[in-house]
Amino acid sequence: MTEFPLDRSDIAGVVLAGGRSQRMGRDKAEVMLGTDSLLRHVLFRLSPQVISVAVNADAVAEDVPAVPDRIPGKAGPMAGIHAAMVYGAGLPAITHVVTVSVDCPFFPIDLVARLAAALERPSQIAVATSAGRSHPVFGLWPVTLAADLEAWIATDEKRRVRDFLLRHDVTEVAFPLHPTRASLLDPFFNINTPDDLIEAQRWLEALRI
Ligand SMILES: Nc1nc2c(ncn2[C@@H]2O[C@H](COP(=O)(O)OP(=O)(O)OP(=O)(O)O)[C@@H](O)[C@H]2O)c(=O)[nH]1
């Protein structure tokens, strides 16, 4: 029986690092930002927020479990979210999984705490927003939704995470822009291209000053 408010010990974290990184031209998880790979940046941010972490990918260079997609085909990030739910369901005492994207190294350090605080019901999903935009890959998901998500993907594997959310009880949590010396950083800034990586390097420097 899920008790609210959720506690950190109820939640496993999964970094979504599948996909083809076509725009970057190489595996985004291994791309260096400053002295660390994107995957390490994201693991540093996520690890203190949850009881355990894993990476949705076929293999992982870091010392954390790899959670491969279980649904082959074109389901994209939804296959990763599904794999994360199934993974969480197999862990003792885990009721929810939080998913984050490997290409988003500046996500909020209070992401999980604020998503968890927003949940009111066992079947509810919490999703992050910033600057009026929703970030459905940054969600806190009940692991009990795995079968429902799998059945839904089976009906049309090309549908989007946003469409899945439309069928469910969702609460959105708005995160503020982050002040830096340069200007305001959207914490969900994500890196898809080599140009984005150059911009991320500037943000990293602005955050350090
Ligand atoms: N498990 C899984 N995750 C995916 C898949 N495609 C994308 N993702 C994840 O979804 C998030 C957003 O990915 P995108 O930037 O849209 O896609 P990408 O494959 O990483 O990059 P592009 O090929 O340049 O579009 C990232 O965290 C990806 O790791 C997929 O087929 N399977």
pLDDT in tens, 72-87: 888 899 999 999 999 9
Ligand-binding site membership of 69 (annotated): yes
Domain boundaries, the chain: 8-208
Nearest partner of 115 among 43, 10, 1, judged by Cα: 10
Ligand 1 mutation pick, 42, 71, 103, max ligand atoms within 8 A of CB: 103
Tell me the C-alpha distance between 152 and 26, whole Å. 31
| Ligand 1: lining residues by beta carbon, under 6 Å | 16-23, 28, 56, 69, 76-77, 79-80, 101-103, 137, 192
Distance CA 190, CA 128 (A): 14
ipTM of the complex: 0.95
- pTM summary value: 0.96
Rounded to an integer, the average pLDDT of 87-95 is 97
Å from CA of 206 to ligand 1 middle: 27
Distance 4 CA to ligand 1 centre (A): 32
Contact between residue 80 and residue 153 where contact means Cβ atoms under 8 Å apart? no
Q: How confident is the model at residue 140 (pLDDT cuts 50, 70, 90)?
A: very high
d(CA 144, CA 169): 14
- Tell me: is residue 163 an annotated ligand-binding position: no
Q: Which CATH architecture has domain 8-208?
A: Alpha-Beta Complex (3.90)
10 has binding-site annotation: no
Residue 187: other Cβ atoms inside 10 A: 23
